[in-house]
Amino acid sequence: MSWIVSSSLTYFQRFCVNVIKCGPIPRHIAFIMDGNRRYATKTKVEKAEGHIKGFDKLAETLQWCLELGVKEVTVYAFSIENFKRSREEVDTLMKLATEKFRQLLDEKEKIMSEGVCIRIIGNLGLLSPELRKLVAEAELMTKDNNKAFLNVAFSYTSRDEIFNTVQSIVKGVQDEALDVEDIDEDLISGALYTSCSPDPDLIVRTSGEVRFSDFLLWQISNSFISFTKVLWPEFCIWHLLACIFYYQRSYNDLQQKKARVTSERAQKFLHQLQQQKITQLKSYT
Amino acid sequence: MDQKSPSVIHRACYLTLNVIYTIYEIIASIFRQKLLIFLCHEIDSRPKKITKVPTHLTVLLGNEEPAVKDLANLILWCLSARITFISFYDYKGSLRQCEDKLRQLVEEKKNEEDHVIWHSRPDFVHKNGYKGRKIHVKLLGEEDGRGTIANVTKTLASAANSDLLQFETELLKQFEFPDPDLGVCCGKTFSLYGYPPWQIRVTEFLTLQTHHNITLETFIHLLYRFNKCEQRYGK
């Protein structure tokens, strides 16, 4: 199945989507797509099959988000901790990712015409050179698109992200690009892997787990949380609509915060950081 | 993509949906207490016992105003359940203003041989060698959140040191407690309201409709729900 699929909604479902659209729609949703393996066990298929079903569900969910008017989606595809799984499973997942990113490059026309910008957040240094090259190509190819944004957290943990950011800021001070006085919350927000995205308004975790497992810990500080029991491959439009409806019910109680970096020096530093990132991606291709 | 703006019919449906849901919420809040008592009886009759309790329970007050009497009860119940750390996160900072009252209430109600160690005071000194049961209590505020990480970054930058161990040591110095293993979010809105981000990597989060007039049954039910959570640590 490809990255961009046509709408699978029935007439009635589309009607309900339009009903929900009468309320505030989250600008950015983060998903922890959990439950692929439990789904495989439950339906008595191979684990790999569960992961493939999980990817297909992602493509479908992205389409629903587009129809709902959600501009940005971040998904937790692979955690650094997941490298601890059996060799066989890690290999299968890497193979699946390689295949999907290759397919993404093949579908260039479709992706570009939909205007989807794809970013990979994570520690790319831990990936195989082959996968790293594909990922970098995909990101560079779509970097100027701005109709919809998909961030894929791959080889990611939040602590790794925060600590790397802290390190780059400390280095910035050492190189005299920054002053100690420039350091604040907003500077860190601007220097994280997710620097180009606003914080998620809604975070959804499937499969009944009630923790964040090192995903976007900094960014979800003020997000609305939705834990749902359904396994990811069984996630359907009704679950998504329910999550958004709960978000709408709490909308007025949520804190709306926007990061703003005011110091010129800090802005220049963040700009440089962004340039460095692009240079690094280019070096991978 | 269907881009047409919502019609009157859509709006009417949306309004109806909200009205129905509000009615449902009201009915549910009336029956919740009864349902819970029923559920807890069911738990008691089961042979299965609570096999693990959290080491550090953290209570997120959310948008609720702190009810000192109920928070005091929570501290005492945690003492009985052998939970050794409890913290309260109040981003609005109202709880700090009634800390004295909370402290007084706990001191009055607790058994004499139990020890409650308060961490949020500047005059706090840690003493070892208590007999009896003990619990550490700390109040957290918004400044303990992202801001602490920014401050620690400043410290590291001033010392030109960017070692992970140093970073974690500095953070722990501020947070003092082990990472919470159970977080209880109070109120209708399920959000972290700026809770310290570094510490919640593996915290299990449960919701509590309100901490006002919380009963022992509800507390036990929370522990029971925590007991069912299973950690996989990425595997």
* Residue ranges of domains in chain A, CATH in brackets: 11-157+197-258 (3.40.1180.10)
Residue B167 sits at the chain A interface (C-beta within 8 Å): yes
Distance CA B226, CA B181 (A): 9
8 Å CB contact of B235 and A14: no
A32: Cβ–Cβ under 8 A, 6 or more apart, which residues? A76, A203, A204, A205, A206, A209, A212, A213, A215
CA distance A87 to B173: 38
User: Is A125 or B42 the better-scoring residue by pLDDT?
Assistant: A125
How much is the pLDDT for A174? 93
Q: How far is CA A282 from CA A134, A184, A198, B219, B223, in A?
A: 11, 30, 25, 55, 51
pLDDT at residue number A80: 96
Residue showing tokens 């020890």: B115
pLDDT in the model for residue B42:
55
List all residues of chain B from 44 to 63 with a beta carbon under 8 Å from chain A: 63
In 3D space, the residue among B10, B41, B82, B160 whose CA is nearest the CA of residue A174 turns out to be: B160
Per-residue confidence (pLDDT) for residue B21, from 0 to 100: 95
Question: Could A20 and B198 be called an inter-chain contact, meaning their C-beta atoms sit closer than 8 Å?
Answer: no
Enumerate residue ranges in chain A where pLDDT < 70. none
Per the listing, tokens 């240094």 go with A125
- Chain A hits for B197, CB-CB cut-off 8 Å, are 158, 162, 217-218, 221
Q: CB contact, 8 Å: A126 with chain B?
A: no
Of B146, B201, B231, the CB nearest to A214: B201
- pLDDT score recorded for residue B148: 96
Q: Is the CA virtual torsion A17, A19, A22, A23 positive or negative?
A: negative
Crossing angle for the helix pair B146-158 and B164-175, nearest 10 degrees?
130
Indicate whether B122 pLDDT > 80.
Answer: no
**Quick one: pLDDT at residue B132?**
77
pLDDT band at B53 (very low <50, low <70, confident <90, very high): very high
> Is the predicted pLDDT of residue B47 greater than 50, yes or no?
no
Q: What pLDDT is stored for residue A167 in this prediction?
A: 94
- Four-residue CA torsion sign, B90, B95, B96, B97: positive
> Which of A80, A166, A250 is nearest residue B162 as measured by Cβ atoms?
A166
The yes-or-no verdict on residue B126 having pLDDT over 80 is: no
Yes or no: say if B135 and B75 are a contact pair by the CB < 8 Å rule. yes
Residues 6+ apart with CB under 8 A from A214: A79, A81, A157, A158, A159, B201, B202
CA distance B118 to B220: 24
The alpha carbon of residue A124 is apart from the nearest alpha carbon of chain B, in Å, by 18
Select from B6, B154, B204 the Cβ nearest to the Cβ of A18.
Answer: B6
Q: How big is chain B by its Cα radius of gyration, in Å? A: 21
